[in-house]
Amino acid sequence: HASADTPPPPHDPYCESGPLLRNNKGEPWVAQRNRPRRNRKSAVIRRMVQEAIVRPSNFIYPLFIHEGESDEAIASMPGCSRLSAGSVLKEVEDAMQYGVKTFILFPKIPDQLKSNYADECYNPEGLVPRTVRAIKDKFPEAMVCTDIALDPYSDQGHDGVVENGQILNDHTIAQLCKQAACQARAGSDVVAPSDMMDGRVGAIRDALDSEGHITTSIMAYTAKYASAFYGPFRDALDSHPGFGDKKTYQQDPANGREALIETALDVSEGADILMVKPGMPYLDVVLRLRAATDLPVAVYHVSGEYAMLRAASERGWLDEKKSVMEAMTCFKRAGADIILTYFAKNCAKWIAQDGEPCY
């Protein structure tokens, strides 16, 4: 026996009580049949067994548009700009050569056209209908989505009609139906109500069908949270709330089960695609929706998430290509079929260059 002053002998992993044996070649051997690393041993097998695969066709590319004749950089979203009429066509053409063929438009509306009832939102000669027609005329194979909400057009900065400091649900829906019909007439393939008013999906579906727009899809912002990650987007559209916040209509970030209530309602009202917004902090909600419905699930990688990754990459703290592609793959792994991201064109380029995920 060793004395108190003598250290114990080193543990022998090959002794009777140790974990290791020796194989027939005298090499160390942990006796186990299941070794998951066998399916990771080469790039070829990793690619073969990959569960979540990101393709350019999974992306929807958000584009900011404005009435100006030149582009305006968005300071809080490096690499993004408010695009002029000519530039938006060039950006669509550029993205399409890499396989990104679906776009969603977000307008910055001049202040003089804003009002409480946001009547500019259904002006057939407004910024969005004109841009939709221009894109569809030049690129008929492109799929154009349009945002259904009043906040870009509201002098109150809210997604609905305001009265005595309250957001009026049903008055707002009446305006949203006019907006959706206007955009469908212009050629929008998918209308995307982001307002979070109760009952708006069913009302919009009926409004579209009553005019014969039975093939116009609805991508509902089903689980849109009252998030702190929207700041740069509101800078881009100059649509910060004029008072208060949006917590009476957007969901509480603390609530997950509530998203299933919204899911059931949107499905019953005729939604074609369900969306979760924001993205990375809400992967659990994406998974909940995926388990609750067979409809396609979209996720919005929002402006704050974009800005964080861009800022960290610019400072050399992250590898932009690897970190962004990892984020996209995580969305697919959680159950998303569709990803809205400002990195859409970049990701499609990386995929084309590498032929496989970049992380």
Q: Is-catalytic flag, 349?
A: no
Q: Pick the catalytic residue from 114, 246, 277, 349.
A: 277
Rg of the chain taking only CA atoms, in angstroms? 25
Separation between Cα atoms, residue 185 and residue 122, nearest integer Å: 10
Which one, of 183, 191, 196, 239, lies nearest residue 219 by Cα? 191
Indicate the DSSP class of residue 154: B
SS3 225: strand
Q: Helices (DSSP H) in 141-281: which residue ranges?
A: 169-186, 200-210, 231-237, 258-268
Angle between helices 200-210 and 258-268 (to 10 degrees): 20
> Structure tokens of 74?
């968005």
Count of other CB atoms within 10 angstroms of residue 243: 9
> Structure tokens of 356?
């496989």
SS3 168: strand
Separation between Cα atoms, residue 185 and residue 187, nearest integer Å: 5
Q: Pick the catalytic residue from 224, 246, 332, 345.
A: 224
> Structure tokens of 80?
């993004």
Indicate the DSSP class of residue 56: G
Q: Is-catalytic flag, 224?
A: yes
Would you name the residues annotated as active-site residues?
A: 224, 277
